[in-house]
Structure 1
Amino acid sequence: MKRIFLMLALVAWLGGVLVPAASAQENKHIPVFIDGLPVNFDVQPVIQSGRTLVPFRAIAEALNVQVTWENTTQTVNATDANNNVRLQMGSLTGYRNQTPIPLDVPPLNLDGRTLIPLRFFSEAFDCQVVWDNAAGTVIITSPPQQMAVVGFYVLGDAQTSSWTNLFGVPYPGTSTGNTGLVSELALGWYSLDEQGNLLTQSRTGWQRPDGWEDILDAARSYNLGTEMVIHVTDEDGTITNLLTNETAMHKATTDILTEVNSYGGVNLNLEGLGYRDTGEQLQAVQNSFTDFVSLLFEQLQAAGKPLTLTLHAPNSVYRGYDYQALGQVSDKIIIMAYDYGAKPEPVNQVIQAVETAIAVIPAEKLVLGISAPNETPQSILTKVGIAKRYNLDGIALWRLGVISDEMWQVLKTTVKERS
């Protein structure tokens, strides 16, 4: 008897998401999560013959799948870069890339919404689907996706070495390590003083290490892009004084243009603007920073070098950054969507930061910053899921040297490694 029960359970599992059997079509609140993020449905999923059916448009959009509806044939078409799926209302046959696949339950119409078999649809797009019986939820993990992965590289110690964390062996040895995941190094070696002098030693600890040329050589050998990061904080007014001194701003851009020849581009990370400013004063702070960025961007463009801005999130307490204006005078923006005061970083606030930025800047110019010390392996999966859900260019990891082996393993399940 036990063997018969197990066989029946296996058959049910192969056909769809296995849920407690229902004698007839049953509406039930069934939470569905993709990469740790909930999928919101305007019509609740339905259980039919023990299978879960969900509104197709909501699940497709959450997976970034393009969908069309053919009214004459009552057919759903869904397409991504690798797969095409076709489902017809009432039919027990689905198609993936023209290959017929039998279904245990057909798609149906409910309250004007088309509901489709969840497991078939998700797995047709190479997702992993798990039914959590204890929680009564469906957990979907999307396939690894190719995206930009920026790794912040700074001077550490034996326990927090960016080199060892990246290459997998102590300096000066090299191996593939985690270089298949990381596409670009943001090298945190520079700062500025209020006179606009470019510094390789700073009071904040951002400094260019001895043997820095070895790091550039290793990056080139593993086909890693490089950015020179210029990091300054305004806690002592350094940035404010710099931005109100036209001579200092021109000095800074000249020094940066001279130094950038060794790198693929520039990453400007000026932090702390607009903390206490309001009204016209805040507007003046935003304008002065935008003016400096515009000056630098124009000269870098002429030199054929891209400019990345690493900015406080638009919903942070530092409001001195006009995202809309800055998006027009930069090639890429890293959103520092962290330091909200909780660990892991609250998903709703990270999403709010992304949605605010996307409202004024194209998603393909945005990168989601993730602070590894504030996350767990599971929460990093969710943060990468946000980058996927909103079609961002990728993620930026703060920082190499503090990313655990478990975090790297999780990243390899959700980010496609470079070939």
Structure 2
Amino acid sequence: MKHWGKILLCGALLLGSAPTIAPGTTSAAGGVRIILDGYPLPFPVEPSVMSGTTMVPFRAISEAMGITVQWNQSAKKITAFRLDKSGVKKVVLTLGSKTALVNGGSVKLAVAPQTIRGTTMIPLSFFSQQFGANVAWNQQAKTVSITSPKTEMYTLGFYAISSYSEYALLPDFDAMAFGWSRLDKNGELTTTGADHYWPPADGDTTPEYIVENSGAGGTTPYLMVYSGDDGLEVTKNLEDKALQERTIANIMDLAVQKGFKGIVLDLEGLGMTGDKAKAAADYNAFVKNLSGKARAQGLKLSIAVHPINSSYNGYDYKTLASLADDLIVMAYAYGDQKSPEPTSKVDEAIRLALKQTTKDKLVLGVSLASENESSVNTKIGLAKRYGLKGIAVWRLGLIGQKAWSEMNKSVELSE
């Protein structure tokens, strides 16, 4: 994916007084829900019907879609900005006026923007037309359904031993984490084993060629280092300093020698039992050690972490985020991974993570072992709604054409 710009970050909308709404011209659309990308969006004031036009809360919807909003108190003007492939869309609305300015040109509104209980309301149809969202009103269900416009955001893919069938998708990601190494039962780094190993060459296509070709094509190659802690593989590294130094030295040697530009550290299973605070502190020390060496070599560092609302609580998001370029929140495996993850749990995982670090440090993990073409954009929509850095897709080989086509409607994955 080649960068053409980012959707601008959300801004605050400070509301002042507004023209009085004449009695009889407004009716509350009681019980109305707003659904954004397949998941309910909270709003401070219910949508209203004014002179036959559905009016929706501008701030709640705009901020959830990453639109920058500014309020001019003296002029009673709202200015909204959005950046996309065609450039900057600038919309200026004036409370009480049926004329809007769109990139300097006048556009007529069916109903003027109004303020109801401190919330600015605008015509639903205008929002759809000007900000590229697909918006629909279902009168029978009393539901406003909004599909956010296609957005550019950081995308990382995971490439495992079984990923070659979707090798052609590799250039469409910003980064790719190659899962070809792990910790063995003794806690030593290895590139051999049952599921995370250095793959054999397929004719002229060697692992080294894939890594080199990835970087040349604009996709940053990461070495992924995986381990669970069922056999205390991770714990041994946290408690044995000599082993830790050896493991980190071997990770660095492998990453540098094989031409990787970054490291994804995916050490799982900490904090389910035992002293969770100690596990988190020990892991912080491990990551700090690795981070210093990675930065000295000019390598990026991403840390894959269990979601805070999981059973594994041995991860200090705040400290880890300060040591790494980003955290990949693996907000999946809440169940058997045979059906889509519960969106409410993914939403909760994001909100909990945002209490520990900033959105520019968070990458939402989306597992295609669980999601399908009907559910994947709801999860991606949450990453967009909260303005996260991006998404990490597990994994090539599981995506499939139907899900890939749907993902391309939500995120710029290909040129």
Which TM-score bucket, shorter chain as reference?
A: 0.7 to 0.9
Shift of 1:217: 3.4
1:209 aligns with 2:203: no
Given that 1:344 and 1:379 are in contact with CA atoms closer than 8 Å, whether structure 2 keeps it comes out as yes
Name the CA distance, whole Å, in 1 between partners of 2:193 and 2:313. Answer: 25
Q: CA deviation at 1:417?
A: 3.5
* Contact 1:195–1:248 (CA under 8 A) maintained in structure 2: no
- Does the CA contact (< 8 Å) of 2:408 and 2:414 recur in 1? no
For residue 271 of structure 1, what is the amino acid of its counterpart? Answer: E
The answer on whether the counterparts of 1:195 and 1:251 sit within 8 Å (CA) in structure 2 is no
> What's 2:180 paired with?
189
Q: Contact 1:372–1:397 (CA<8 Å) still a contact in 2? A: yes
1:267-278 map, 5 Å: 267-277=264-274
Q: Which amino acid is 1:314 matched to? A: I
For 2:160 and 2:94, the matched residues in 1 are separated by 55
**Residue in 2 that maps onto 1:407:** 403
Partner of residue 305 from structure 1, selected from 299, 308, 313: 299
Please say if residues 192 and 232 of structure 1, whose CA atoms lie closer than 8 Å, have aligned partners that are also in contact.
Answer: yes
1:173 corresponds to: none
The partner residue of 2:152 within 127, 134, 146 is 146
Deviation at 1:39, TM superposition (A): 2.2
Say whether residues 1:319 and 2:313 are aligned partners. Answer: yes
Report 1:67-86 matches (<5 A): 67-81=69-83, 82-86=88-92
Amino acid at match of 2:293: Q
> Is it true that 1:37 corresponds to 2:39 in the alignment?
yes
TM-score, reference length from structure 2:
0.87
Shift of 1:195: 5.0
Matches within 5 A, 1:217-236: 217-236=212-231
Unmatched 5+ stretches in structure 1: 1-22, 157-161, 168-177
2:13 — aligned with what? Answer: none
Deviation of the 1:256 alpha carbon = 1.0
> Does the 8 Å contact 1:363/1:393 carry over to 2?
yes
Larger deviation, residues 261-270 vs 341-350: 341-350
Deviates more, 1:226-235 or 1:46-55: 46-55
Tell me: CA distance 1:112–1:357, structure 2 relative to 1, closer, same or farther (3 Å).
closer
State the alpha-carbon separation in 2 of the partners of residues 180 and 199 from structure 1.
27
Q: Does 1:372 align with 2:374?
A: no
Question: AA paired with 2:153?
Answer: M
Q: Tell me the distance in 1 between the aligned counterparts of 2:54 and 2:221.
A: 47
What is the RMSD computed on CA atoms of the aligned residues? Answer: 1.8
- Kept after mapping to 1: 8 A contact 2:32/2:143: yes
Paired with 1:356 and 1:219, the residues of 2 have a C-alpha distance of: 34
Q: Secondary structure at the match of 1:320?
A: coil
In the TM superposition, what is the alpha-carbon distance from 1:24 to its structure 2 partner? 4.5
Tell me if 1:200 matches 2:201. Answer: no
Distance 1:356 1:418 in 2: 31
Q: Deviations over 1:99-142 (max 9, x none)?
A: 11111111123233321112212321121222335533222111
Question: 1:4 aligns to what?
Answer: none
| Alpha-carbon shift at residue 200 of structure 1 (Å) | 0.6
2:262 corresponding residue in structure 1: 265
| Partner residue, 1:18 | none
Residue by residue, what CA displacement relative to the aligned partner does 1:320-354 show, whole Å, maximum 9, x if unpaired? 11111111111111000011126321112111111
Q: Distance in 2 between matches of 1:316 and 1:31?
A: 29
Q: Deviations over 1:4-42 (max 9, x none)?
A: xxxxxxxxxxxxxxxxxxx95210132222222322221
In structure 2, what is the equivalent of residue 165 of structure 1? 166
What is the correspondence of 1:22-101 to structure 2 with a 5 Å cutoff?
24-28=25-29, 29-81=31-83, 82-101=88-107
- Taking the aligned partners of 1:257 and 1:349, their CA distance within structure 2 comes to 35
User: Is 1:349 aligned with 2:345?
Assistant: yes
Unaligned runs of 5+ in 2: 1-23, 202-206
Q: In the TM superposition, what is the alpha-carbon distance from 1:79 to its structure 2 partner?
A: 1.7
- Give 3-state SS (helix, strand or coil) of 1:202's partner: coil
How many Å apart are 1:180 and its aligned residue?
5.5
Aligned partners of 1:251, 1:296: CA distance in 2, in Å? 11
What residue number does 1:132 align with? 138
Q: Deviations over 1:208-247 (max 9, x none)?
A: 1012123223313432111111101111111112211000
Query: Is the Cα–Cα contact under 8 Å of residues 32 and 139 in structure 1 kept in the other structure?
Result: yes
Q: Secondary structure at the match of 2:224?
A: strand
Look up the match of 2:11.
Answer: none
Answer whether contact 2:89 2:103 (CA < 8 A) is retained.
yes
Residue 245 (structure 2) pairs with residue 250 (structure 1): yes
How high is the TM-score relative to the length of structure 1? 0.86
Percent identical across equivalent pairs?
Answer: 34
Q: Classify the secondary structure of the residue corresponding to 1:123.
A: helix
- Kindly indicate whether the alpha-carbon contact (under 8 Å) linking 2:64 and 2:385 is maintained by their aligned counterparts in 1: yes
